[in-house]
Amino acid sequence: MDTNTSKYGPVEAAWLDEQIKAFWARTEDDEFECTDSFRLARKGVPAEEQEYEEEITCCGKMDLEFGPSPEGHTYWYGFNYGH
């Protein structure tokens, strides 16, 4: 599991944390049960995109696209649920 946003620097990290928080704030409590396999990747970075793909597991799959960020990047944020 790798959703550590700090590696992208403070500006990107703060923005990403806000996107992730906003997503969870607008979901119902019981919408996604038994969540795991949380993952995050910057779009267009092959090593990150490959790691992201490898972190996908079974059952329900959610993948969100966040962007453009303050520094002009797009990110994938995802998880699995419903096991």
Smallest distance from the beta carbon of 57 to Zn ion, in angstroms?
A: 6
Cα separation, 40 vs 49, whole angstroms: 9
Task: Kindly state whether residue 34 participates in binding Zn ion, applying the rule CB under 5 A.
Answer: no
Task: Kindly state whether residue 7 participates in binding Zn ion, applying the rule CB under 5 A.
Answer: no
| Closest CA relative to residue 49, chosen from 24, 28, 70, 78 | 78
Q: Which residue is nearest to Zn ion (CB)?
A: 59
Task: Kindly state whether residue 59 participates in binding Zn ion, applying the rule CB under 5 A.
Answer: yes
Report yes or no: 66 and 40 within 8 Å, Cβ to Cβ. no
For Zn ion, the binding residues (CB under 5 A) are 58-59, 83
